Amino acid sequence: MMSKLLLCFLFFLSSSQLLSFSFSFSNSTKLCSHQQALALLHLKQSFSIDNSSSWDCDSNGITSYPKTESWKKGSDCCSWDGVTCDWVTGHIIGLDLSCSWLFGIIHSNSTLFLLPHLRRLNLASNDFNYSSVSIGFGRFSSLMHLNLSYSVFSGKIAPEIFHLSNLVSLDLSGNYEAEFAPHGFNSLVQNLTKLQKLHLGGISISSVFPNSLLNRSSLISLVLFDCGLHGRFPDHDIHLPKLEVLDLWGNDDLSGNFPRFSENNSLMELDLSSTNLSGEISTSIGNLQSLQTLDLSDCGFSGSIPTSIGNLKSLKTLDLSNCEFSGSIPTSIGNLKSLRFLYLFSNNFSGQIPPSIGNLTNLQDLRFSDNLFNRTIPSRLYTLPSLVIDLSMNELHGSIPSSIFKFANLEFLYLYSNNLSGVLETSNFGKLRNLTSLDLSNNKLSSITSSNSNSILPSIQKLDLSNNNISGVWSWNMGKDRLWYLNLSHNSISGFEMLPWKNMQILDLHSNLLQGPLPTPPNSTYFFSVSHNKLSGEISSLICKASSMEVLDLSNNNLSGMLPHCLGNFSKDLSVLNLRRNRFHGIIPQTFLKGNAIRNLDFNDNKLEGPVPRSLIICRKLEVLDLGNNEINDTFPHWLGTLPKLQVLVLHSNSFHGHIGCSKIKSPFMSLRIIDLAHNDFEGHIPSSFGNLKLLESLDLSSNKLIGRIPQELTSLTFLEVLNLSQNHLTGFIPRGNQFDTFGNDSYNENSGLCGFPLSKKCIIDETLESSKEADAKFDGGFDWKITLMGYGCGLVIGLSLGCLVFLIGKPKRFV
């Protein structure tokens, strides 16, 4: 018993000593020094807190918050958020303020630089308002990790940073206004020999790629995207056994060939996109068996894909788009069982799409558009779990495999611009309940509607079947609540059972065989085109409820009646209103409102009458006004000359009359490129002020009653390509010079008083003399040459008469 008590006593004694030692140790641990805490508090006060300063963190799934809010005076700074201390010395050795909502400038005398023992400094994803990466950062001689990425630094980076010889990781990426001084990058590469991670994406380096960088066996990650690297990428083999990331995208002046890789490598990400690298892909690509991402898009690579690509069993993303690859896709691509994203679009691949792609059971996104594939679509393709399939803009033919309609997970299917044919039976779409976007346009497909085709494609949002052979009455019942884009143009559809889509925004039905009254679009529609159909009747005023309308095209139909008074003001966003080639009559409504967005008004080829509506004067964005082929009776609308953006003015074949004048408007019609006033009753002279329309490309004044000379000022119109002055009563010399030397006889036909080049009728007076006098013509402020000769003759007669009188009566006394 005594022995047990003795043992308990000894255990209690030892436990008490141990507890005492522990308490003593904790009390002896050094807290953050007053100077360090004060430096951090001053640093906190130098910034304001703005959550938008760290927006990129949240968009990338990283939680951002103001870390400095936990920094309180009187508490141990070693316990503050983002602060790491050495528990032996109490020195602050780590400061992580990434994603901390900081906004403000880091000045060269910032108290940040009073923390000389820092080993890690992370200020990424804040907004330092174009601060410079100053000399102060070069004082952290113990620094091993420095991250200033995406924090709005600018200007030249202090070269002192390149002498932080202990740096293992340096990330300055995303500071697009920052740059290295000349030779700064070479200095960095020479001095920072311990670097394992070097990220300088977006920094202006403007340097040749240094060969020595690829000799750093310690490198794990090298990210130099969009840095202005130029010259030639090293041709020698890359022996970097630890390298996991090589990212050089966006250096479009960096040339060379695809690098060769040794078998001993750890590369997981290789991005050479948007560079000037070219040539064929080396078979050594098969050595990159750890590779997960390969992006060679937007380069000059050519030739075929090496079969060794099938060795990349870990690959998840393969992007070879926008290059010059050709030939067939190797069947070995079916070995890439981990592949999720496969982008081969915009190349010259041809032949058959290999059925082995059906082995890619993890594929989510397949895009083969804009190639030369010219066989049928392999049915195995639609056994994939893919959410996106894009085979558009190829030469595929045959029918769409029935297996596609069993593809329950499919969300996007693009097969447009091929040679596909056959029948689309609506009942087959029943299982595609997740399909949101379907584009089969520009093929040769027809459609059959089955009796059991109710509520097909319930999730569809965008449907494009334009340029096919679809006929009859459209009765697909789909996407009532979700469909916002429907394009059925260039088919032979004769009508609709209903327009049930209450959220429709874009509805394009032009170039069909639609008959009957004009269908009224949903109120949410902003683009509505039914042009080139056979619609008849009047425009219902219900169309004016579409208050978001931007483009309304009803042209080339048999619509009639008067235009609704609301047509000019029912939508403040309306920019295009096209009613040409219908049978509308009456006056054009005077209802255009101030601040409207109208750019194009086309009422050509109707039976509209009355004057040009004066409310057009407030259409300040108007670029095209076409009132041709109507029955408008008015004088020349010179007041339109104040519209700053008007480029096309077409008034031909109406009943305009009077003189073509520009009143007293200073610099009228200065943006005009096309004027067509033909087939009216204009009279008087061609205004010499037309010579001021320096952008004019086409001038048609034919079939009017114009008189007088062609103003010499028109020769200054150096962009003029079309001139038609035929069927008027013009007289005199045809001006020479510039574009006038290119116009033929047709420009001047049926003006019996014209002479000179290019007409066969010669002018009586020397052409050179006449050209020099043309600027002084009668109606341009000078005298007509006939009047000049008459004056000369009269003067001669009067002079002779006076001479005779003097001879007969003697000299006046004052001359004696």
pLDDT in tens, 694-745: 999 999 999 999 999 999 999 999 999 999 999 999 999 999 999 999 999 9
The reported pLDDT for the residue numbered 454 is 62
Q: Which has the minimum average pLDDT: 176-180, 498-502, 636-640? A: 498-502
pLDDT, mean of residues 778-804 = 33
Does 16 score more than 50 pLDDT?
no
Does 755 score more than 90 pLDDT?
yes
The reported pLDDT for the residue numbered 621 is 96
- 30-207 maps to which CATH number? 3.80.10.10
Q: Is 96 helix (H, G, I), strand (E, B) or coil?
A: strand
CA distance 141 to 145: 11
Q: Is 318 helix (H, G, I), strand (E, B) or coil?
A: strand
User: Closest Cα partner for 116 from 95, 148, 134, 92?
Assistant: 92
Sketch the domain layout of the chain as residue ranges.
30-207, 785-815
Q: Which has the minimum average pLDDT: 671-675, 753-757, 764-768? A: 764-768
- Yes or no: say if 460 and 438 are a contact pair by the CB < 8 Å rule: yes
pLDDT, mean of residues 29-45 = 88
Confidence of residue 9 (pLDDT cuts 50, 70, 90): very low
Give the single-character DSSP code of 2: H
Residue with tokens 């508490």: 75
Element (H, E) at 797: helix 785-809
CA distance 771 to 755: 12
The reported pLDDT for the residue numbered 612 is 97
Does 352 score more than 60 pLDDT?
yes
Element (H, E) at 773: helix 767-773
Does 480 score more than 60 pLDDT?
yes
The reported pLDDT for the residue numbered 451 is 54
Question: How would you class 210 by CB atoms within 10 Å of its CB: exposed for 0-12, middle for 13-18, buried for 19 or more?
Answer: middle
User: Closest Cα partner for 580 from 600, 610, 596, 550?
Assistant: 600
Q: What are the angstrom distances between the C-alpha of 442 and each of 376, 412, 446?
A: 16, 17, 12
Angle made by CA atoms 229, 234, 235, in degrees to the nearest 5: 145
CA distance 563 to 378: 54
pLDDT, mean of residues 488-517 = 91
3-state helix, strand, coil in the chain (%, to 5): 25, 25, 50
- Yes or no: say if 665 and 642 are a contact pair by the CB < 8 Å rule: yes
Torsion, Cα of 677, 682, 686, 688 (10° steps): -80
CA distance 337 to 330: 15
pLDDT, mean of residues 20-40 = 64
Confidence of residue 490 (pLDDT cuts 50, 70, 90): very high
Q: What are the angstrom distances between the C-alpha of 254 and each of 182, 209, 409, 493, 634?
A: 18, 8, 41, 53, 64
pLDDT, mean of residues 42-54 = 97
The reported pLDDT for the residue numbered 798 is 32
Tokens of residue 352, six digits: 């058959």
Confidence of residue 455 (pLDDT cuts 50, 70, 90): confident
Per the omega criterion (within 30 degrees of 0), is the bond before 758 cis? yes
Element (H, E) at 657: strand 657-659
| Through-space distance between the first and last CA atoms of the chain, rounded to whole angstroms | 175
The reported pLDDT for the residue numbered 474 is 87
pLDDT, mean of residues 289-294 = 97
Torsion, Cα of 281, 284, 287, 290 (10° steps): -30
CA distance 697 to 656: 22
The reported pLDDT for the residue numbered 404 is 85
Q: Average pLDDT of the chain?
A: 88
The reported pLDDT for the residue numbered 271 is 98
pLDDT, mean of residues 33-42 = 95
The reported pLDDT for the residue numbered 801 is 36
The reported pLDDT for the residue numbered 431 is 83
CA distance 22 to 86: 19
Does 534 score more than 70 pLDDT?
yes
Q: What are the angstrom distances between the C-alpha of 790 and each of 755, 764, 785?
A: 21, 16, 9
Does 191 score more than 60 pLDDT?
yes
pLDDT, mean of residues 11-17 = 37
pLDDT-above-70 percentage for the chain: 89
CA distance 158 to 168: 18
pTM listed for this prediction:
0.83
**C-beta pairs of 40-43 under 8 Å, 24+ apart in sequence:** 40/71, 40/77, 40/80, 40/83, 40/92, 40/111, 40/115, 41/71, 41/73, 42/111, 43/110, 43/111, 43/112
pLDDT tens, position by position, 210-238: 988 988 999 999 999 999 999 999 888 88
- Yes or no: say if 103 and 130 are a contact pair by the CB < 8 Å rule: no
pLDDT, mean of residues 750-765 = 90
The reported pLDDT for the residue numbered 781 is 36
pLDDT, mean of residues 636-660 = 96
- Yes or no: say if 385 and 409 are a contact pair by the CB < 8 Å rule: yes
In 323-418, the DSSP E strands lie at 324-327, 341-343, 348-351, 365-367, 372-373, 388-390, 397-398, 412-414
| Count of helices and strands (H, E) across the chain | 6, 56
Q: Which has the minimum average pLDDT: 28-42, 142-156, 513-527? A: 28-42
The reported pLDDT for the residue numbered 19 is 35
Element (H, E) at 16: helix 2-28
Confidence of residue 21 (pLDDT cuts 50, 70, 90): very low
The reported pLDDT for the residue numbered 452 is 54
Alpha helices in 325-408 (DSSP H): none
